[in-house]
């Protein structure tokens, strides 16, 4: 039986488009929050074919609903033409219906240049489970090894989790990419996925990845676009705060879930080793930061900071003139040199507050840096005390 998790995303009061990778719990969340809604699930072939054969049936059916009814359309990218019907409905009678639309691919919506309901539908995002949404805080290695997909987290046995992650990679990634004809060669895309997983969290070297995957460089660039558009990965741009220092300008690319990273790289059956723990920890913290931005009203953008000399800050959150720096270390001991980048940026006024995250047991203070064990930092983050500093940069 699927364990029910309490998600942090609040239900909007007006029509919305909920974007998120497959398997993150969008449908389950909508069924729980909008149990009485009139629903269309376009993942069901019979529903999709019915609406394709008789497009007018959708409007006739919603016209028969009482005023104020919610209408759910799951995986709307499967039939983008429905957005035109929804647009017309909201234009003709904006208060008669409220629509909850979900999608796991922005690529098809954009590619077909469909009406995206600008100004009439707000956008929300659903990500894998955060620590605050899990029942009982898992150990750090458990988080990093299996990630936060709800179906995976519903299983306690490691073998069952591994099976589900393998199925996710094959069914939700490989087969979905094939079904939507997003790539020409599934074989080369599969090779690229494994190489991209091994390069997760690193400064992206497209030429090197193309060589390792035996795929042309322009093709690799297109593959990255597919991963971003299907919400499987996210670019983390570099930050250039004008501190009179030359910064690295290339972005990093992170996959959306640590369990999926390990499954794509073929390591899901192996214990964690030191070489992968650091980047997986960064991936998890990035996920939690993105979730906090998505589920709260803090807003802002994420980036990283690095100079050619090696000074680095893993994450910088910015909103207007406010900036917060976060350094993540997969170490049980915090060393002063770990926070060198944070201290330098704080000294010149580029960031207002500094946070260190590590795998030790005690909270510490090192100059301007507040250092917390991972689980304690994530609790502070979810409570709104990390990305809510009021102090402004100079």
Q: Would you list the domain boundaries of the chain?
A: 16-125, 128-394
Burial of 53 (0-12, 13-18, 19+ CB in 10 A): exposed
Residue 101, phi then psi, degrees to nearest 5:
-110, 140
**Neighbouring residues of 17: CB distance < 8 A, sequence distance ≥ 6:** 76, 101, 102, 103, 117, 121, 122, 123, 124
Classify the C-alpha dihedral 266-270-273-277 as positive or negative. positive
The two tokens of residue 347 are 């000294």
| pLDDT at residue 308 tops 90 | no
pLDDT tens readout for residues 232-275: 999 999 998 765 555 557 899 999 999 999 999 999 999 999 88
Residue 324 confidence (pLDDT): 97
Has domain 16-125 been given CATH number 3.40.50.300?
A: yes
Tokens 């919400």 belong to residue: 231
pLDDT tens readout for residues 195-242: 889 889 998 888 888 898 888 889 888 889 888 988 999 999 999 876
Q: Are 345 and 325 in contact (CB under 8 A)?
A: yes
Instruction: Name the pTM for this structure.
Output: 0.93
**Neighbouring residues of 295: CB distance < 8 A, sequence distance ≥ 6:** 8, 9, 10
Greater model confidence, 54 or 178 = 54
Over residues 167-188, the mean pLDDT reads 75
| pLDDT at residue 109 tops 80 | no
Tokens 């214990």 belong to residue: 271
Number of alpha helices (DSSP H) and beta strands (DSSP E) in the chain? 16, 13
Residue 1 confidence (pLDDT): 43
Query: What does pLDDT average to over the chain?
Result: 90
Percent of the chain with pLDDT over 90: 67
Give the CA distances from residue 47 to residues 44, 105, 328, in Å, rounded to whole numbers and listed in that order.
Answer: 5, 19, 46
pLDDT tens readout for residues 85-95: 998 999 999 88
Question: How many angstroms separate the CA atoms of 288 and 53, rounded?
Answer: 42
Q: Among 173-177, 218-222, 378-382, 383-387, which stretch is predicted with the lowest mean pLDDT? A: 173-177
Q: Of the candidates 284, 275, 329, 254, which has an alpha carbon nearest to the alpha carbon of residue 146?
A: 284
Burial of 220 (0-12, 13-18, 19+ CB in 10 A): buried
Q: Of the candidates 344, 374, 380, which has an alpha carbon nearest to the alpha carbon of residue 356?
A: 374
Over residues 164-177, the mean pLDDT reads 82
**Residue 156 C-alpha from the chain's centroid:** 24
**Neighbouring residues of 7: CB distance < 8 A, sequence distance ≥ 6:** 25, 29, 126, 133
Residue 258 confidence (pLDDT): 97
Greater model confidence, 231 or 109 = 231
Greater model confidence, 24 or 106 = 24
| pLDDT at residue 391 tops 60 | no
Residue 201, phi then psi, degrees to nearest 5:
80, 5
């Amino acid at each position: 039986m699927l364990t029910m998790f309490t998600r942090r995303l609040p239900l909007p009061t007006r029509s919305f488009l909920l974007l998120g990778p497959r398997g993150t719990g969008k449908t389950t969340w909508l069924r729980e929050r909008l149990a009485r809604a009139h629903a269309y699930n376009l993942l069901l072939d019979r529903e999709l074919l019915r609406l394709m054969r008789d497009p007018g049936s959708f409007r006739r059916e919603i016209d028969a609903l009482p005023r104020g009814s919610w209408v759910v359309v799951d995986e709307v990218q499967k039939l983008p033409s429905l957005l035109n019907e929804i647009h017309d409905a909201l234009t003709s009678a904006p208060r008669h219906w409220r629509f909850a639309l979900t999608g796991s691919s922005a690529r098809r919506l954009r590619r077909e240049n469909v009406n995206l309901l600008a100004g009439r539908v707000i956008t929300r995002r659903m990500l894998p489970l955060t620590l605050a949404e899990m029942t009982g805080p898992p150990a750090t290695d458990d988080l990093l090894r299996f990630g936060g997909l709800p179906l995976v987290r519903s299983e306690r046995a490691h073998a069952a989790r591994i099976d589900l992650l393998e199925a996710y990679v094959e069914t939700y990634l490989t087969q979905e990419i094939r079904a939507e004809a997003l790539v020409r060669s599934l074989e080369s895309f599969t090779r690229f996925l494994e190489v991209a997983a091994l390069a997760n969290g690193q400064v992206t070297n497209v030429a090197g990845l193309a060589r390792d995957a035996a795929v042309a460089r322009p093709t690799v660039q297109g593959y990255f676009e597919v991963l971003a558009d299907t919400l499987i990965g996210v670019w983390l741009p570099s930050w250039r705060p004008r501190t009179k220092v030359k910064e690295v300008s290339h972005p990093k690319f992170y996959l959306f879930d640590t369990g999926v990273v390990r499954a794509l790289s073929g390591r899901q059956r192996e214990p964690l080793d030191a070489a992968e723990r650091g980047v997986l920890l960064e991936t998890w913290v990035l996920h939690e930061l993105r979730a906090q931005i998505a589920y709260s009203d803090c807003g802002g953008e994420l980036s990283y900071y690095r100079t050619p000399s090696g000074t680095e800050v893993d994450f910088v959150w910015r909103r207007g003139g406010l900036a917060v720096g976060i350094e993540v270390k997969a170490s049980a001991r915090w060393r002063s040199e770990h926070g060198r980048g944070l201290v330098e940026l704080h000294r010149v006024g580029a960031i207002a507050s500094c946070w260190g995250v590590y795998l030790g047991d005690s909270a510490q203070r090192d100059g301007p840096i507040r250092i917390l064990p991972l689980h304690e930092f994530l609790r502070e983050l979810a409570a709104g005390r990390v990305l809510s500093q009021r102090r402004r940069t100079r």
